[in-house]
Structures are given as structure tokens and as C-alpha cells.
């Protein structure tokens, strides 16, 4: 099946329900940078699409960093002066500061307070906090609960191991005829947060599952990794073959109802940047394009100057711009099947546009060739015949061997999929020859 057929035939409502159901199952798992919560999440992911899982040992040098110790939590609670448990990580994963060192202590209300995190502005929500690279312990709780804690002696317990182990990452490579790769990367380190980041995981898993059923020219590499250290680790392990990556997208925040936002790669006008912008423009729905900034998700690492990969980030509402972000309110009610399905569809449209691109030469460039004689005029009636004719004329006029279909799409305002149809018809009529693959040009620096 071709990608455009897959786009037409996919049952989007069913995909949305499947993604929402997957997120509901993955939501309670105790994910972190490392540990069994990540492995359990990947086991669930393998129900959607087969993955190659790699365990990278603690202490492995990765670029300027090193793989951290593995963290696994067994219990975390605070007992109040009356002996009752007031905060318990069993009730919500966010209650414990991620990567907390073990602790068993009795302390005063004031001493305890130095280890508490809450949000005065959102007093009913539990914040998401971590301390990956500095040894600490702590608890996160609603501000209202924190304020209600009386004076007296508290008992705290965090039963966790922070020990030599591994960092777990997973990938799925869907090889096409071309060795040029499209990198699709998403983080998997957030516990009990639905939009950031389970929506990204669910959409990428289902995108991979759909793509497996389709013919594709390019190769696709899906990465499921902990944020920052995961992309650093993957880049360190693949330093010599990142040149194959012709384009890439970092996926996150894809389940809320916000408009799509595209953050350009560091290069700014790479083929992926132009393709996503073309697809978003052609849809006629509100969207926003943002220039590259050196903060955000793993595009920071892919776009570090030594690699400078053509990797942008395609999200709905960007991180930090919705009130539920990094709080317990980023729960299952924030993500909806129709929004997940819309995101999945947009990603597939972008991949279809990348696949559709190509460079051609007009074999009859002196004057317009007679299209009617070749059955290329007016096969379809009405307005669509006019559109088809325009697409044929644009492709013929611009195909001097230098312009790609994306160039023609940008110049003409005609969707690249329609131009590709026209190019296929013209090639079949002997009027057009397909030249090299434009992704090759994209893989090297402009």
C-alpha cells in the first residue's frame, strides 16, 4: 500500500481510541530516566510494534556525559505526627522527587519542609520534579496539603535503589529502498504524565505500526529514549552513521486540543522544515511555526553544532505553555482520542510529503507539449480538471532538473501530493524523467 492510500484508508477514530487505551495502560507505570518502569513501558510498546531494546551500562561515557546509575523505587511515604500516612507514592507517582536517594528519618515540620515541593499558584496539583544529576530526596504534594501539615515529628521513608545498572533505550528501523533515514524521536521518562510524554509515545508507536503496512522509499528510525541523556547516548553510539539522517522530528505533546506548532531545526530551511511548513499551510487550519532555540526536547542534542542534524519538533501546544504542564493535571482527561488521531494523521501526511518529493527533467521543454493528444487533459470534469491541469503545467514548466517537487509546491501553492500525481502521469506519458532523490541533497549540509 502506498502512503497516500494508507492516509485515505486508515480508520482514524479507531486509531485514536487505540492510542487513548494504550496511554491509560502506560499511565501508572513508574517511568524515570532508567529502571524497571521504562522496561515495563517498552514491554507495553512492543504490543503495538516490535522494538530493538538496548541496555547501556551505567558509567558508559556518552559524549561529554556518562550513563547514570539506575533508579528503582519501591516505596516513598511521609507519616504525620499522628502516625497517619499523609503522602504516599503508591497514590501517585509524582509524589516522590524523581531519582531521590534512599532515606529513613524522623524530622521536624521545618526540617521536612526543606524537602517539599508544591505549587502555590496551583494549590490542588502535584508538581513533577526530578533531581537526576544532584543527590537529593524529596516529596511533591499539593500546596493546600503542605499548608495543612501541623507542627510535630514526621517520619519519612524512601526505599529506592540508585545503583549500577543500565539505561534502556529502544528503536524500530523500518528500512526502505533508500538508506536515507528519517529520525522520529520521543522521550519516555515521565511518570504519570499523559500529554507530556505518553501522547508522543502513543502517536509514534502507532505511526510505526501504520508505516509497517506501507511501501516507503526512505528508511524510518523510531527512537524511544529518556530525555536528554537518551539522545546523548544514542548519538554517542551512532556518531559515525548520523550522516544517514536526512530529516527528523521530535514528537511530544500530541494529545491536547491545541493547534500544531512546528519548531524549525537549527538549519532553519532544511527539507524537513520546508516540508512540515508546506503541509501545515496546505491544511488550512491554524498553526504556528517557531524558529530554533537551543532549549526544549531532544532536538537540542540532534541540533548541537557538531551534529547539526535536520531535526525539528512537531507538537500541539508546546511544553510549558499549558497550565497542566508538568503537574498531576496532565492526566488521562487532558488527552483525547480525536486529538491523538489528528496528530497521527499530520505526521503521516508529513511522511507522505517527504516520500512524494523528487526531482525531474522535462523531456519536451521547447514549448508546451500537447497534453490532449496524450490523454492528459480533461479526463476528470469540473474544477478538479482545472487543478489537475495546473499541476501538470507547473511540473512541466519547473522541471528543468534543478527544482524538486517541494520547490514547485512552494512556488505554485499546490499540494506536493497533487504535484507528485501529475509527475507520475507525465512520466508515464514519456514527458518527464525522474532524476536523483532529493533527500540525498538534504543529508549533506546546505
**Minimum distance, C-beta of residue 326 to Zn ion, in the bound complex (Å):** 6
Contact segment (CB under 5 A) with Zn ion among 142-150, 195-203, 282-290, 431-439 equals 195-203
Taking the complex as a whole, the smallest distance from the CB of residue 58 to Zn ion amounts, in Å, to 23
Which are the contacts of 315, defined by CB distance < 8 A and separation ≥ 6? 251, 252, 253, 254, 260, 261, 263
Cβ of residue 296: shortest distance to Zn ion, in angstroms? 10
Closer Cβ to Zn ion, 295 or 366, answer by number = 295
Q: Which is nearer to Zn ion, 133 or 377 (CB)?
A: 133
The window from 165-173, 194-202, 347-355, 427-435 that contacts Zn ion (CB under 5 A) reads 194-202
Stretch that binds Zn ion, among 147-155, 190-198, 335-343, 380-388 (CB under 5 A): 190-198
- What angle is formed at CA 36 by the lines to CA 207 and CA 316, rounded to 5 degrees? 35
Residue among 196 and 355 whose Cβ is closer to Zn ion: 196
Q: DSSP letters of 300-331?
A: HHHTSTTT---EEEEESSPTTSSTTTTBTTSS
The C-alpha atoms of residue 229 and residue 62 are separated, in whole angstroms, by: 8
- Nearer to Zn ion among residue 196 and residue 425 (C-beta): 196
Using the minimum distance from each CB to Zn ion, give the nearer residue, 36 or 196.
Answer: 196
Number of C-alpha atoms within 13 angstroms, CB side, residue 161? 10
Q: Identify whether the C-beta of residue 168 lies closer than 8 Å to the C-beta of residue 34.
A: yes
**Minimal distance in Å, beta carbon 131 to Zn ion?**
15
Q: Which is nearer to Zn ion, 331 or 410 (CB)?
A: 331
Q: What CA–CA distances, in Å, run from 51 to 242, 248, 276?
A: 20, 19, 26
List, as one string, the DSSP characters of 373-394.
Answer: GGT-SSSS-SHHHHHHHHHHHH
* Shortest CB 31 distance to Zn ion, Å: 11
Query: Smallest distance from the beta carbon of 187 to Zn ion, in angstroms?
Result: 7
* CB 133, min distance to Zn ion, A: 16
Tell the smallest beta-carbon distance from residue 245 to Zn ion (Å).
24
What CA–CA distance (Å, rounded) separates 232 from 301? 6
With contacts defined by CB under 5 A, name the span among 74-82, 147-155, 188-196, 242-250 that binds Zn ion.
188-196
Compute the least distance from the CB of residue 320 to Zn ion, in Å: 9
Q: Which stretch binds Zn ion (CB under 5 A): 109-117, 191-199, 229-237, 403-411?
A: 191-199
Reported as type and span, the H/E element at residue 432 is strand 432-434
Name all contacts of 421-426 with Cβ < 8 Å and 24+ positions apart.
421/388, 421/391, 422/388, 422/391, 422/392, 422/394, 422/395, 423/358, 423/360, 423/395, 423/399, 425/376, 425/392, 426/360, 426/376, 426/392, 426/395, 426/396
Are 161 and 72 in contact, with CB atoms under 8 Å apart? yes
- Which residue's CB is nearer to Zn ion, number 70 or number 196? 196
> Which among 434, 436, 433, 432 has a CA at the least distance from the CA of 376?
432
Candidates 81-89, 97-105, 107-115, 189-197: pick the segment binding Zn ion (CB under 5 A).
189-197
Closer residue to Zn ion in complex, CB, 193/214? 193
Phi and psi at residue 341, in whole multiples of 5°? -65, -40
Residue 299 touching Zn ion (CB under 5 A): no
Number of residues forming the site for Zn ion (CB under 5 A)? 1
**DSSP strands (E only) in 14-114:** 52-57, 61-62, 65-66, 70-79, 85-88, 103-108
Q: What is the Cα–Cα distance from 246 to 348, expressed in whole angstroms? A: 17
Please pick, from the candidates 36, 171, 181, 196, the single residue that binds Zn ion as defined by CB under 5 A. Answer: 196
Residue 196 vs 273, nearer CB to Zn ion: 196
Nearest CB to Zn ion, comparing residues 219 and 231: 231
Q: Which residue is nearest to Zn ion (CB)?
A: 196
Q: Is the dihedral of CA 76, 79, 80, 84 positive or negative?
A: positive
Site string for Zn ion, 140-179 (x = CB under 5 A): ----------------------------------------
The grid coordinates listed for 415 are: 499540494
Please say which residue, 250 or 403, places its beta carbon nearer to Zn ion: 250
Give min distance, CB of 313 to Zn ion, in A.
13
Contact residues for Zn ion, defined by CB under 5 A? 196
Amino acid at each position: 500500500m502506498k502512503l497516500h492510500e494508507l492516509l485515505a484508508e486508515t480508520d482514524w477514530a479507531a486509531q485514536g481510541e487505540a492510542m487513548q487505551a494504550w496511554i491509560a495502560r502506560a499511565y501508572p507505570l513508574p517511568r524515570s530516566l532508567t529502571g524497571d518502569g521504562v522496561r515495563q513501558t517498552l514491554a507495553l510498546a512492543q504490543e503495538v510494534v516490535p522494538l530493538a531494546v538496548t541496555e547501556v551500562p551505567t558509567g558508559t561515557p556518552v559524549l561529554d556525559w556518562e550513563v547514570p546509575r539506575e533508579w528503582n523505587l519501591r516505596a516513598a511515604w511521609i507519616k504525620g505526627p499522628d502516625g497517619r500516612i499523609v503522602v504516599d507514592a503508591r497514590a501517585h507517582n509524582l509524589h516522590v522527587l524523581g531519582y531521590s536517594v534512599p532515606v529513613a528519618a524522623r524530622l521536624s515540620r521545618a526540617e521536612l519542609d526543606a524537602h517539599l515541593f508544591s505549587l502555590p499558584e496551583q494549590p490542588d496539583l502535584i508538581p513533577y520534579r526530578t533531581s537526576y544529576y544532584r543527590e537529593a530526596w524529596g516529596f511533591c504534594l499539593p500546596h493546600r496539603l503542605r499548608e495543612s501539615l501541623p507542627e510535630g515529628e514526621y517520619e519519612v521513608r524512601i526505599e529506592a535503589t540508585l545503583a549500577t545498572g543500565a539505561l534502556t533505550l529502544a528503536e524500530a528501523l523500518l528500512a526502505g529502498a533508500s538508506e536515507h533515514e528519517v529520525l522520529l524521536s520521543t522521550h519516555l521518562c515521565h511518570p504519570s504524565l499523559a500529554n507530556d510524554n505518553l501522547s508522543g509515545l502513543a502517536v509514534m508507536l502507532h505511526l510505526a505500526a501504520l508505516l509497517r503496512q506501507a511501501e516507503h522509499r526512505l528508511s524510518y528510525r523510531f527512537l524511544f529514549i529518556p530525555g536528554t541523556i537518551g539522545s546523548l547516548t544514542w548519538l554517542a553510539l551512532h556518531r559515525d552513521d548520523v550522516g544517514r539522517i536526512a530529516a527528523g522530528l521530535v514528537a511530544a505533546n500530541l494529545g491536547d486540543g491545541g493547534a500544531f506548532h512546528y519548531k524549525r531545526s537549527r538549519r532553519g530551511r532544511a527539507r524537513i522544515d520546508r516540508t512540515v511548513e508546506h503541509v501545515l499551510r496546505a491544511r488550512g487550519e491554524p498553526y504556528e511555526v517557531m524558529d530554533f532555540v537551543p532549549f526544549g526536547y531532544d532536538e537540542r542534542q540532534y541540533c548541537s553544532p557538531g551534529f547539526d542534524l535536520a531535526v525539528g519538533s512537531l507538537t500541539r501546544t508546546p511544553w510549558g505553555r499549558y497550565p497542566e504542564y508538568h503537574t498531576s493535571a496532565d492526566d488521562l482527561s487532558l488527552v483525547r482520542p480525536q486529538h491523538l488521531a489528528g496528530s497521527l494523521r499530520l505526521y503521516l501526511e508529513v511522511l507522505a510529503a517527504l516520500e512524494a518529493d523528487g526531482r525531474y527533467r522535462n523531456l519536451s521543454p521547447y514549448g508546451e507539449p500537447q497534453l490532449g493528444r496524450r490523454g492528459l487533459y480533461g479526463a476528470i470534469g469540473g474544477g478538479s480538471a482545472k487543478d489537475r491541469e495546473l499541476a501538470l503545467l507547473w511540473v512541466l514548466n519547473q522541471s528543468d532538473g534543478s527544482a524538486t517537487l517541494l520547490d514547485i509546491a512552494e512556488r505554485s501553492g499546490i499540494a506536493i501530493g497533487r504535484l507528485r500525481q501529475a509527475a507520475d502521469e507525465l512520466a508515464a506519458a514519456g514527458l518527464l524523467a525522474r532524476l536523483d532523490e532529493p533527500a540525498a541533497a538534504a543529508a549533506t549540509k546546505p
